[in-house]
């Protein structure tokens, strides 16, 4: 199988420690984390993805808001610049140890955090990065 992720979730997955918007969201994210840790490929998608799924039943899911779409664009630009290759919607990525380590190293330095500006989870993610990504649920720090 393949895990469908929007671009800014390429960054969010680096610091996921089991916290989220709702219990259903967190339970779903844990299942996605298990799949990614087992090496399932990531398919980059536009708009709501496998992580967003539990939020789509809300009256006004934030997953469709312009600010979230802007986060996707900023995250994709940062990841493309970091990896030095063109990555577009529909691209497949393998969340192996090398990719996760490179992303985390550059996340911790702030190089790929433009999408994080103004995010309500920013302080939590900063603490996790400062703690060398201890207790993350995706891959190995």
Q: Convert the pLDDT of each residue in 106-131 to its tens digit.
A: 999 999 999 999 999 999 999 999 99
52: left (phi over 0), alpha (psi -120 to 50) or beta: alpha
Q: Convert the pLDDT of each residue in 39-53 to its tens digit.
A: 999 999 999 999 999
CA dihedral 47, 27, 35, 59 (to 10 degrees): -10
Band (pLDDT 50/70/90 cuts) for residue 140 is low
* pTM listed for this prediction: 0.94
Q: Convert the pLDDT of each residue in 50-89 to its tens digit.
A: 999 987 777 787 788 899 999 999 999 999 999 999 999 9
């Amino acid at each position: 199988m393949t895990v469908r992720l929007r671009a800014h979730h390429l960054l969010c997955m680096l610091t996921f420690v089991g916290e989220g918007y709702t219990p259903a969201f967190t339970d779903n994210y844990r299942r996605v984390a298990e799949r990614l840790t087992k090496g399932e490929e990531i398919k980059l998608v536009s708009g709501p993805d496998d992580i967003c799924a539990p939020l789509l039943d809300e009256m006004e899911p934030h997953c469709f808001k312009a600010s979230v779409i802007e986060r996707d664009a900023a995250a994709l630009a940062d990841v493309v610049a970091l990896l030095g290759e063109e990555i577009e919607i529909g691209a497949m990525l393998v969340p192996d140890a090398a990719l996760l380590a490179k992303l985390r190293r550059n996340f911790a330095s702030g190089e790929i955090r433009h999408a994080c500006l103004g995010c309500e989870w920013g302080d939590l993610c900063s603490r996790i990065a400062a703690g060398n990504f201890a207790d993350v649920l995706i891959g190995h720090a």
